[in-house]
Each structure stands twice: as structure tokens, then as C-alpha cells.
Structure 1
Amino acid sequence: MALPSRPVRILLVDEEETLTHVVRLALELEGWEVTAVHSAAEALADRSRPDIVLLDMMLPDGLGTDVVAGMRAAGSRANVVFVTGRAEHEQRAAGYAAGADGYLTKPFSLEELVDHVAVIVRRLGLSPSSRVAGDLILDTEAGMAWRAGELLPLTSLEFELLRELVERRGAKPTTSELVRAVAGRGIRIPAAFVTRMLARIRTAVNGVGRPMLVGDDAGWQLG
């Protein structure tokens, strides 16, 4: 399990300096570290190693799609979101084809943008409430879990059992030990449902074609 040890790094790329100033302040109020640039050349020359890139489609010296393609070619794995007034299907398709992960169209409120980024932060396992085990990420505040970026369809009680497996990673707790542990957090799980819930968790986390992460050999464990 790994916990975030540094601020989330965000690269904001937009030619409108007034807009970037306001957006930067809103993002920094969340405790995130923001670098703002205003051209494609500056974006490609940036060395801040961002976790998230908020990128306009139309820049004074090129297209946002070229920036994404250049970042991907250089090995960047940042989560790239286009923040642009270009809402046409063709533009969206071009953005995703270039390697973007999301698309947010203008106009938007600052609250909407911050909420959008906050979801990405949680999904990447960069929130203070994140719990990480390999490519499995839990957010204990939101009660949500992802594996390899895919949201897992878990109920709130199933999430709490999975959280306990993550907290006990490497151990082999029995079902009764898991139930007692979550009861210590004030969460009551009917004993008759536990085996079925753990089986659903295993199916959701392991999925099809993924390396097995949750097993039940000699006690439930997260390997």
C-alpha cells in the first residue's frame, strides 16, 4: 500500500492568460501544484512531470493534439484532459486519437473544473484518502475503487471489505476476522452474506484477463 507523499502536479496549457490565472488559483486552493504555460512549445518544453495536463485545443503556435502526441512520444503518462470550446465530434475524436484521456468543453464553472480534476486525482490514487495496491486504487473518502483505471462495480459494504484486504495486504485474514475488523469502523455486515460478498469482490477485482489480485486460498488475501 502506498500513500501520496507529494502534491498533485498539474500542467495548465491555454493562451488566455486571464483565464489561466483564475483557473490556477482555483486549483492551487485545493493544494495542487500548478504550472501554467501559454503555447504548444512551452508545453512540450515543460519539465514539471505533471500528473494531469489541462490543455486547450487551439494554441497560438499549434494544436493541442500535437502537444498530446509529442508528450506521448516522449513517454509521458500524464492524464491529459482537453479543456476547450471546440465541442465538435471530430475534435473530440482527434483529441482521443492523439492520446488524450478526457474532454471538457467551455464554458464551465470553476467548481465543475475542480470537481472534474478531483475525480481524476482520486482515480490516479493521488488523494490523501487513496489506498494503492499495484494497479488497484481505493479512495476511502469517496468509497470508490478502480483497477487499471476502470471503476469497479462494488456496493458500499463490498468496498469496506476490499479496503480491509488492502489494509492487510500480505496477510491471510479469515472471513470472521474481516467482519470483526470492519465492525471496528462501525460497519455491520451480516455474517450470512460475507462469503457471497467476498466472491463478488474477487470477481470484480480479478475480472477477465487480469492477473489475479484477490484470492481465497487458505483465507482471503490480497496478493
Structure 2
Amino acid sequence: MKEQLIDVLLIEDDRDLALSIAEYLRFEGILCDHAFNGHTGFNLAEKNSYDVILLDLMLPRIDGITVCQRLRSDGNDTPILMLTAKDTLDDKAVGFEAGTDDYLVKPFAMKELVMRVKALAKRKSGQVKKLCIGELVLDLDTRMVTRGGKEIKLTPISLLLLEILMRKSPSVVSKREIEETLWPEDTPDSDNLKVQIYQLRQKIDKPFATKLIETVSGHGFRIIGSK
């Protein structure tokens, strides 16, 4: 089976280093877009879909920390690997607090960069501040849910169910995985999950023309954006 291509966005103002990284990534079969400043990089990250973002800290126009913070605030869950010469624990703490997923100190071996890119590309970032599916937004800090700008009040268990579905979107989440998350210490009644899905649909889907929550027969449930 052919390996799926990885799309990377590299935001790095050192042109020689950037060209070397991009060339090595392409040699490894990894597609690479490139931006030389934070402003262009941020716009590319917002406009396009990438598997991993390689982000330098010291950038013109908008620095790497600010780029990272803005992406996370906007709900961008693309894994971010920061590339920097700053190697103190305090520097790393600032990066992780901003929302980076990994940290690589310059100078680094290209082989190690590729290994980290491939590892990060297998998952979404856990550092995102918002989950967004179309006009549906779950703010993970305030736990507020809105759709089309209208606030939706949910019970704690409905909120957790929605978070599970949104984090895994557009993948199908099995009934077993949902039940183990909602009721980790109990064996739920057979109809409990059906009731929770129904109640969530009443809040998330019923007042709107487009339905987001789908039942995938024999597999589980998923939440997807407008088709």
C-alpha cells in the first residue's frame, strides 16, 4: 500500500536553511510550501490544509510565538514543530504555552527533522484552543458552544460527547469508544448512548438547516461540516 503524502508548511526567514530543508523534505517524499515571514506563513496556514507546520521563532513581521498563538486561537489543530536556536527550558516553556507540539533546536540533523514530521503528521494537535466544524465552534477554554454565532447551552455529558466527535472529525467514532469516554467506570444501559446522541442532535442540528451529526450504521457516529 502506497504511503500517503505529507504536506508541510515551512515558515523560516533564513533562505539558505529554508531551501535546504525544503529540498531534503521533497527528497523524502514530503511536499513543502514555504513562507519567509510570519505574516505570509500565518495566511498560508489559515488558507490551506497542512499535516505539519515547521515554524521558526525569530521571524520578520510576525514572530513565531505570535503566529502559533493566533493559529491556536482560531482553532487550527495542525501540529506545529518549532525550529529555533533558543534552547533553554524557559524558551521551550514559552513555545509550549503558545501551542507548539514539538521543539527542535538548531542546528539539527535533517533525518531527525523528517522523523519528527512523520510522527506529528499522524495526529492532530492537542494544543488547539477551539474546535471548529464549519460554523460550529467549541471553545475549549470557556467550554462555550456556538453555531452561526448563536450560543448553545449543553449539559456536561453532551458537551463531552460533542468534544469527542469534534476532535475526531471527520472520522467515525465507535460506540464503544464513546461509551468508554462518557462512562469510564460504569457499564451504561444499552439505550444511554442513543439518548445522549438524540439530545445532542436536538441542540446542535434541529434548529439548523444543515445536519452535522451522522450515524454510520454498524460503525458509530461522526460529525462533519457542510458537504
TM-score range, shorter chain: 0.5 to 0.7
**How far has the Cα of 1:62 moved from its partner?**
3.0
Unaligned runs of 5+ in 2: 125-163, 165-173, 188-217, 221-227
**For residues 11 and 57 of structure 2, what CA distance do their matches in structure 1 show?**
9
Secondary structure of 1:41's match? helix
Aligned-partner residue type, residue 19 of structure 2: H
User: Are 1:99 and 2:99 counterparts?
Assistant: yes
**How far has the Cα of 1:48 moved from its partner?**
2.4
Unaligned runs of 5+ in 1: 125-147, 149-168, 171-201, 216-220
Aligned to 2:86: 86
Write out the 4+ residue segments of structure 1 that deviate beyond 3 Å after TM superposition. 3-6, 208-212
Paired residues of 1:35 and 1:48 also in contact (CA < 8 A): no
Aligned to 2:23: 25
User: Are 1:38 and 2:36 counterparts?
Assistant: yes
**Cα 1:87/1:211, change in 2 over 3 Å:** farther
Paired residues of 2:79 and 2:121 also in contact (CA < 8 A): no
For this pair of structures, how many residues does the alignment match? 138
Paired residues of 1:65 and 1:98 also in contact (CA < 8 A): yes
Aligned to 2:133: none
TM-score, normalised with respect to structure 2:
0.52
Aligned-partner residue type, residue 31 of structure 2: E
Paired residues of 1:9 and 1:34 also in contact (CA < 8 A): yes
Aligned to 1:66: 66
Secondary structure of 2:77's match? coil
Matches within 5 A, 1:1-223: 7-46=5-44, 47-123=47-123, 209=181
**For residues 29 and 16 of structure 1, what CA distance do their matches in structure 2 show?**
20
**For residues 69 and 183 of structure 2, what CA distance do their matches in structure 1 show?**
30
Aligned-partner residue type, residue 38 of structure 1: F
**Cα 1:210/1:20, change in 2 over 3 Å:** farther
**How far has the Cα of 1:30 moved from its partner?**
2.2
Paired residues of 1:13 and 1:54 also in contact (CA < 8 A): yes
Secondary structure of 2:9's match? strand
Aligned-partner residue type, residue 96 of structure 2: Y
Secondary structure of 2:90's match? helix
**For residues 99 and 79 of structure 1, what CA distance do their matches in structure 2 show?**
9
**For residues 72 and 31 of structure 2, what CA distance do their matches in structure 1 show?**
22
**CA RMSD, aligned part only?**
3.3
**For residues 52 and 95 of structure 1, what CA distance do their matches in structure 2 show?**
16
**How far has the Cα of 1:61 moved from its partner?**
2.0
Secondary structure of 2:13's match? coil
Paired residues of 1:9 and 1:48 also in contact (CA < 8 A): no
**For residues 30 and 109 of structure 2, what CA distance do their matches in structure 1 show?**
18
1:41-80 alpha-carbon deviations (Å, 9 max, x no partner):
0111112221211101111223211001111222211001
**Cα 1:119/1:210, change in 2 over 3 Å:** farther
TM-score, normalised with respect to structure 1:
0.53
**Cα 1:98/1:112, change in 2 over 3 Å:** same
Aligned-partner residue type, residue 67 of structure 1: V
